């Protein structure tokens, strides 16, 4: 056993099932479980799709699963450098409705990653949201689920 | 909000008279309701009240009734595959389907009573069942996209409508959701509207052409909320 991190047993059966399935098809769709920073979190590496502004770029998403997952949404942020994108803040917060008001228990880690990748793919230019500086100064690194989000257009 | 039971015990419809005593706009309609209906069950008002009321009443009709349960089970046995065919992930929805079918079996056995159903309908069960109802509704809307697309006003596609107005657990059901779910389940339901409009309470039937052996369920609608109501 080298330095490989032990895979934790998540109390939520659904989390366990989802991560096992993601591991079984590691790398498919540019989505790959990276590691488990603590007993309630998992980091997932996503790869920008070919032919898009982010082609070949790797990003790290951190999922934190609340006890009531999947009835409550996971907390999802970019860690260690977030993509320059009109709906992604420099503190890693993502403006995507399914992570907040429009979350559904029928969504999965995989579905969330696909939505985020699709959001990256449809970007026209690499820019930060207009209110990036003020938003990040205001919320810092607290949970994005505490922010009041306005969703103009999920697709871009 | 969780202080209130997901689906409450039967209470007399006449209780509405007290609630609306100071409200002349509703007086006539409340009297009409009291004439026609015996009791009601209040549903927790968290956006899922239509889904849980309708499902609860369906299960209530199958309590100890093998024939109904069999007909309903036959209609629902392929429902999981149906939902997978419109793009849901098996892992994300199979538990909801399993819970739904387990409850069906548990309430339809001989000797089961309404109390059996009430006891089994825990908050956790309620979340699973509501979620399944929402998935079924979305799946039906997506499968019959051409029939529904023309009714959309604020959404660009049926897909978007489902993602914003059906799947999230806090979104309320309106005409399209009721049409879709009742068409999928094939259990007739009548929505009785209690609002400030003129005349007696308007009623709207859904899936009344169903051939399944169920009697129509009645839901009392007040703006933003549904409760179960039972005819005399």
Total structural domains in chain B? 1
Per the domain annotation, does B171 fall within a domain? yes
Query: What is chain B's mean pLDDT, rounded?
Result: 94
Domain A13-137 carries which CATH code?
Answer: 3.10.110.10
Per the domain annotation, does B2 fall within a domain? no
B118-139 pLDDT per residue, tens: 999 999 999 999 999 999 999 9
- For A102, which residue in chain B has the nearest alpha carbon? B168
Dihedral of CA B101/B104/B107/B111: which sign?
negative
The pLDDT value given to residue A6 = 58
Per the domain annotation, does B141 fall within a domain? yes
Q: Where are the domains of chain A?
A: 13-137
Per the domain annotation, does B173 fall within a domain? yes
Question: Catalytic annotation on A113?
Answer: no
Output the domain CATH number for residue B164.
1.20.1300.20
A31-60 pLDDT per residue, tens: 999 999 888 999 999 999 999 999 999 999
Per the domain annotation, does B1 fall within a domain? no
A75-105 pLDDT per residue, tens: 999 999 999 999 999 999 999 999 999 999 9
The pLDDT value given to residue B1 = 56
Contacts with B93 from chain A: Cβ below 8 Å: 106
Backbone angles phi, psi at A79, to 5 degrees: -120, 150
Nearest residue, CB atoms, A105 vs list B131, B138, B164: B131
Determine the structural domain holding residue B187 and report its residue range: 7-231
Nearest residue, CB atoms, B92 vs list A97, A103, A106: A106
CB A86 within 8 A of CB A45: no
ipTM surpassing 0.90 = no
- Cis upstream peptide for A23 (omega within 30°): no
CA distance A86 to B20: 50
- Chain B residues within 8 angstroms (CB to CB) of chain A: 88-89, 91-93, 95-96, 127, 131, 134-135, 138, 163-164, 167-170
């Amino acid at each position: 056993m080298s330095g490989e991190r032990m895979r934790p047993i998540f109390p939520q059966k659904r989390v366990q099932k989802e991560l096992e399935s993601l591991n079984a098809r590691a790398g498919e769709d540019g989505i790959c479980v990276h590691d488990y920073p603590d007993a309630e979190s998992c980091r997932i590496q996503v790869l920008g799709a070919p032919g898009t502004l982010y082609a070949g770029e790797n990003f790290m998403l951190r999922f934190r699963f609340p006890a009531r997952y999947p009835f409550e949404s996971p907390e999802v942020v970019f860690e260690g450098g977030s993509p320059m994108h009109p709906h992604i803040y420099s503190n890693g917060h993502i403006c995507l409705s399914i992570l907040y008001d429009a979350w559904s228990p029928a969504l999965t880690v995989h579905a969330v990653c696909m939505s985020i990748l699709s959001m990256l793919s449809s970007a026209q230019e690499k820019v930060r949201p207009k209110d990036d500086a003020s938003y990040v100064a205001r919320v810092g690194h607290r949970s994005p689920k505490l922010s009041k989000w306005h969703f103009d257009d999920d697709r871009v | 909000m969780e202080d209130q039971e997901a689906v409450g015990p039967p209470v007399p419809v006449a209780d509405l008279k007290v609630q609306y005593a100071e409200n002349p706009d509703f007086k006539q309609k409340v009297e009409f309701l009291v004439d026609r209906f015996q009791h009601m069950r209040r549903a927790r008002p968290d956006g899922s009240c239509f889904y849980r009321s309708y499902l609860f009443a369906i299960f209530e009709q199958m309590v100890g009734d093998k024939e109904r349960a069999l007909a309903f089970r036959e209609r629902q046995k392929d429902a999981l595959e149906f939902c997978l065919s419109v793009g849901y992930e098996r892992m994300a929805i199979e538990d909801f389907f399993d819970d739904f079918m387990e409850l069906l079996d548990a309430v339809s056995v001989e000797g089961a009573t309404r109390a059996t159903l009430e006891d089994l309908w825990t908050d956790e069960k309620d979340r699973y069942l509501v979620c399944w109802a929402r998935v079924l509704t979305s799946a039906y809307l997506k499968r019959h996209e051409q029939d529904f697309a023309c009714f959309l006003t604020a959404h660009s596609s049926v897909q978007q409508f489902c993602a914003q107005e059906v799947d999230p657990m806090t979104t309320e059901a309106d005409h399209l959701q009721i049409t879709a779910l009742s068409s999928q389940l094939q259990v007739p339901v009548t929505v009785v509207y209690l609002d400030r409009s003129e005349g007696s309470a308007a009623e709207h039937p859904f899936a009344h052409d169903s051939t399944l052996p169920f009697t129509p369920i009645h839901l009392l609608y007040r703006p933003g909320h549904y409760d179960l109501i039972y005819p005399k």
